[in-house]
Amino acid sequence: MKKDFISIHDLTRYEFFELMDQTKKIKDDPDEYRKKLKNQVLAMIFEKPSLRTRMTFEVGMLELGGKAIYLSPSEIQIGKRETVEDVAHNLERWVDGIMIRTFGHDNVIRLAQAASVPVINALTDLLHPCQAMADFFTLKEHKGNISKIKLAWVGDGNNVCHSLMFAAAKAGCKMSAAVPKGYEPNPEIVRLALEDGKGSDFELIVTNDPLEAVAGADAIYADVWTSMGQEAEKEERLKLFASFQVNEALMSKAKDDCVFMHCLPAHRGEEVTAEVFDGPRSIVFDEAENRLHAQKAIMLALMGK
Residues recognised as catalytic: 101, 128, 131, 223, 263, 291
- The verdict on 131 binding ligand CP (CB under 6 A) reads yes
Compute the least distance from the CB of residue 226 to ligand NVA, in Å. Answer: 8
C-beta separation of 274 from 249 below 8 A: no
- The verdict on 294 binding ligand NVA (CB under 6 A) reads no
Q: Which helix (H) or strand (E) holds 261?
A: strand 259-262
User: For strand 219-222 and strand 150-154, is the pairing parallel, antiparallel, or unpaired?
Assistant: parallel
- The verdict on 107 binding ligand NVA (CB under 6 A) reads no
Identified binder of ligand CP from the candidate list 7, 23, 40, 53, rule CB under 6 A = 53
Q: Which is nearer to ligand CP, 154 or 263 (CB)?
A: 263
Q: Which stretch binds ligand CP (CB under 6 A): 15-23, 51-59, 112-120, 148-156?
A: 51-59
- The verdict on 264 binding ligand CP (CB under 6 A) reads yes
Binders of ligand NVA: how many residues, by CB under 6 A?
8
- The verdict on 59 binding ligand CP (CB under 6 A) reads no
**Cα distances (Å, whole numbers) of residue 70 to 49, 56, 106, 164, 218:** 12, 12, 21, 27, 37
Q: Which stretch binds ligand NVA (CB under 6 A): 69-77, 92-100, 188-196, 223-231?
A: 223-231
Compute the least distance from the CB of residue 266 to ligand CP, in Å. Answer: 10
Q: Residue 132 carries which side chain, given as an amino acid letter?
A: A
Q: Which is nearer to ligand NVA, 29 or 231 (CB)?
A: 231
Tell me the residue nearest to ligand NVA as measured from the CB.
227
Q: Which does 140 bind (CB under 5 to 8 A by kind): ligand CP, ligand NVA, none?
A: none
- The verdict on 227 binding ligand NVA (CB under 6 A) reads yes
Identified binder of ligand CP from the candidate list 68, 71, 263, 300, rule CB under 6 A = 263
Q: Which helix (H) or strand (E) holds 177?
A: strand 174-178
- The verdict on 9 binding ligand CP (CB under 6 A) reads no
* DSSP code at position 259: E
* DSSP code at position 246: B
Q: Which stretch binds ligand NVA (CB under 6 A): 113-121, 156-164, 169-177, 252-260?
A: 156-164
Q: What is the 3-state secondary structure (H, E, C) of 3-57?
A: CCECCHHHCCHHHHHHHHHHHHHHHHCHHHHCCCCCCCEEEEEECCCCCHHHHHH
Q: Which is nearer to ligand CP, 52 or 281 (CB)?
A: 52
Q: Which does 51 bind (CB under 5 to 8 A by kind): ligand CP, ligand NVA, none?
A: ligand CP
CA dihedral sign, ordered 106, 101, 72, 86: negative
- The verdict on 211 binding ligand CP (CB under 6 A) reads no
Partners of 178 in the β-ladder: 154, 207
What is the DSSP track for 113-162?
A: HH-SS-EEE---SS--HHHHHHHHHHHHHHHS-TTS-EEEEES---HHHH
- The dihedral region occupied by 63, where left means phi > 0, alpha psi between -120 and 50, and beta the remainder, is alpha
Gyration radius of the chain over CA positions: 19
Chain positions contacting ligand CP, by CB under 6 A: 50-53, 123, 131, 263-264
